[in-house]
């Protein structure tokens, strides 16, 4: 008769326990309420951005094409993680099936790498708009923008496929407890009882490529943008130019800083306790804040939202 450890070495586990904050049960109810509010706001905010970007004739520039994809990514982010977290926080059973866990971290990594490239494409768009305004329509034509978006989605899928293939081969021994709110590759690697050097190295290389290369392109673009803006003599013109970039810079900071802390530290220093709250931040809070950052700081989006609400109100009153 096989021992528990031997059976786990031969067969994948049937489910994992997502610890969350079950060691601090007094936190579960307030955290459930906060997550539910953020989830509703994320769905409403990102759906509103997608609708106005697609339907409003004044928001048909490349910037809003990228913005609609960013909002769709954020919508998928929350849909991938938040429902499971709410179910676990609201019940005594904190489990997720092995298949559900695999799907969750596969989609999560796909979306994360795709967002890195979409944010870099948005920085390129701002660079051309500010540094090459007369050539903007020629350079940032719709076919190029669609190809950039396609590259982002396909590259993210390729990264996710590699991570899934490597992670599903790991054996898991003993009690299957993930000290996290949802399934992520670093937490899965930490849980395995095998030698994970190859997984750690592959994760580090791929994440470094998908995080640092787009981030370098973003910083390079903004270096040229700052130089071009400082040459503008009018203070009003400088404020307007910086205003078009400030929302994107804030979104980049909210996305990249937690991701760099989470994924670009040595495996030996990875803390599951810190990691689970950081992952909570960029999986729920950042996708919720993004549409409000773009709405509150962008008069074109605010105008489009007012027009959409006016149309909906008109249809409702008929």
**Full-model pTM:** 0.85
What would the pLDDT profile of 277-288 be if each residue is shown by its tens digit? Answer: 787 887 888 888
CA gap 5, 99 in Å, rounded? 20
Residue of 149 and 200 predicted with greater confidence: 149
Give the pLDDT score at 154: 95
Q: Where are the alpha helices (DSSP H) in the chain?
A: 4-10, 28-55, 62-89, 98-131, 136-139, 142-167, 185-191, 197-230, 235-263, 272-280, 286-296, 299-317
Q: What b/e sequence results for 46-70 when a residue is b if at least 16 CB atoms lie within 10 Å of its CB, and e otherwise?
A: bebbbbbbeebeebebbbbbbbbbb
Q: Say what the alpha-carbon torsion angle 47, 137, 215, 285 is, to the nearest 10 degrees.
A: -10
CA gap 120, 127 in Å, rounded? 11
Counting the structural domains of the chain, the total is: 1
**Confidence bin at 168 (pLDDT 50/70/90):** confident
Mean pLDDT across the chain: 82
Contact status, residue 164 vs residue 106, Cβ threshold 8 Å: yes
Give the CATH number for residue 151. Answer: 1.20.1070.10
What would the pLDDT profile of 210-221 be if each residue is shown by its tens digit? Answer: 888 999 999 999
Contact status, residue 72 vs residue 47, Cβ threshold 8 Å: no
Of the given ranges (7-21, 125-139, 198-212), which has the lowest mean pLDDT? 7-21
Give phi and psi for 97, each to the nearest 5: -70, 160
Contact status, residue 238 vs residue 143, Cβ threshold 8 Å: no
Structural domain containing residue 11: 4-317
Say if residue 292's pLDDT is above 60.
yes
């Amino acid at each position: 008769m096989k021992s528990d450890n031997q059976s786990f070495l031969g067969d994948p586990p049937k489910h994992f326990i997502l610890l969350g904050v079950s060691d601090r049960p007094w936190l579960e109810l307030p955290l459930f309420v906060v997550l539910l509010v953020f989830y509703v706001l994320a769905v409403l905010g990102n759906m509103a951005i997608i609708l106005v970007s697609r339907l409003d004739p004044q928001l048909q520039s490349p910037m809003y094409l990228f913005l609609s994809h960013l909002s769709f990514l954020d919508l998928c982010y929350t849909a991938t993680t938040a429902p499971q977290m709410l179910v676990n926080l609201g019940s005594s059973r904190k489990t997720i099936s092995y298949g559900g866990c695999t799907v969750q971290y596969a989609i999560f990594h796909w979306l994360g790498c795709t967002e890195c490239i979409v944010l870099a494409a948005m920085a390129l768009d701002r660079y051309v708009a500010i540094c090459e305004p007369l050539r903007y329509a020629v350079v940032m034509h719709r076919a190029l923008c669609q190809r950039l978006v396609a590259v982002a989605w396909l590259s993210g899928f390729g990264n996710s496929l590699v991570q899934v293939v490597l992670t599903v081969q790991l054996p898991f021994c003993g009690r299957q407890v993930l000290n996290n709110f949802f399934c992520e590759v670093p937490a899965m690697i930490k849980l395995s009882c095998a030698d994970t050097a190859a997984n750690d190295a592959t994760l580090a290389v791929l994440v470094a490529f998908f995080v640092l290369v787009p981030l370098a392109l973003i910083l390079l673009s903004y270096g040229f943008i700052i130089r071009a803006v400082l040459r503008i003599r009018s203070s009003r013109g400088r404020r307007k130019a910086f205003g078009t970039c400030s929302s994107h810079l804030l979104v980049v900071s909210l996305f990249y800083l937690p991701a760099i802390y989470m994924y670009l530290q040595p495996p030996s220093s990875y803390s599951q306790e810190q990691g689970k709250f950081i992952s909570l931040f960029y999986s729920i809070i950042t996708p919720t804040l993004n549409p409000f950052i773009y709405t509150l700081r962008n008069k074109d989006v605010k105008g489009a939202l007012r027009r959409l609400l006016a149309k909906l109100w008109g249809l409702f009153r008929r």
